[in-house]
Structure formats: structure tokens, C-alpha cells
Amino acid sequence: MRQHRGMKKAVACLVIVAFSFLSLVVAPVQAAMVGTADILKAQSDDLARQKVKLFMERQDVVQQIQAWGVNPDEAQARVDTMTDEEISLLASKIDQLPAGGDALGFILAAAVIIFVVLVITDIMGVTDVFTFINKR
């Protein structure tokens, strides 16, 4: 009986030590709600990056970059390493160019704005456009 009690104590100590090591290995996890503003900012950053990449792929831009003595692939690599703020600034400058700015970009921006407005009014219960939005 005494031997059995000693065995239980040894097993309990071994289990405690094992769980202690497991708790050291597992890193704490943090979770948070992602806000709508964060999602919209990420989407606008992605759109701006895509706009700059498409601009850099245009034939006249590639020719001008080569005329300056810069390799177009190197210029594209530099664009890929730019921060989101730099990309947003560059994308806004592209829209302000005299010969730049196409109707497709305007239409896409208007469609996104209309979609966001409809989603917000649908969530508030003013409209009933989208079936995938849960009403309060």
C-alpha cells in the first residue's frame, strides 16, 4: 500500500513537471476584433499598390524609365519595397497627372463607395438590399 502511494506521488510529480514544460513551450495567443476601418484601409492600400504596379507596367512608362537609364525590373522591385504610405502618395500623384486618370478607376471608386454606403444603411436597417447582412 505504501509502495502504491509512493508510485502515485511520483506519477503526479512527473505529470506536473510535464505540464510545466508544456506551458513554457506554448506562446500566449492574443485575439482582437478587426474593425471595419482596418479592413477598408487594407483594401485601399492594396488598390493603391495595384494601381502603381499597373502604372509601372505601361509601355510608355517603361520606355521613360529606360530612357533615364534605370532597369524596369529594378524599378518594380523598388516599388514592391515601398511602404503603404509611400504607395498611397504615389497613387494619388498618378491620379493628378495631366494625361493620367482613366474612367475605369473612377467607376471602381464610385462602385466601392456606393457598396459601402449600401452596406452601412443595410446594417442600420434603413434599406434591405443584401441578404447576407444580419439585421439587429
Instruction: Return the DSSP state at 68.
Output: T
Q: State the sign of the Cα–Cα–Cα–Cα dihedral 29, 34, 39, 40.
A: negative
Beta carbons within 8 Å of 105's beta carbon, 6+ residues apart: 51, 95
Q: What are the residue boundaries of the structural domains of the chain, listed by start? A: 2-101
List the grid coordinates of 118: 449600401
pTM of the entire predicted model: 0.46
**Gap between the Cα atoms of 132 and 124, Å rounded:** 14
Task: Read off the pLDDT of residues 49-91 as tens digits, 9 standing for 90 and up.
Answer: 898 888 888 888 788 878 877 788 887 888 888 888 888 888 8
Are 72 and 66 in contact by the 8 Å Cβ rule? The answer is: yes
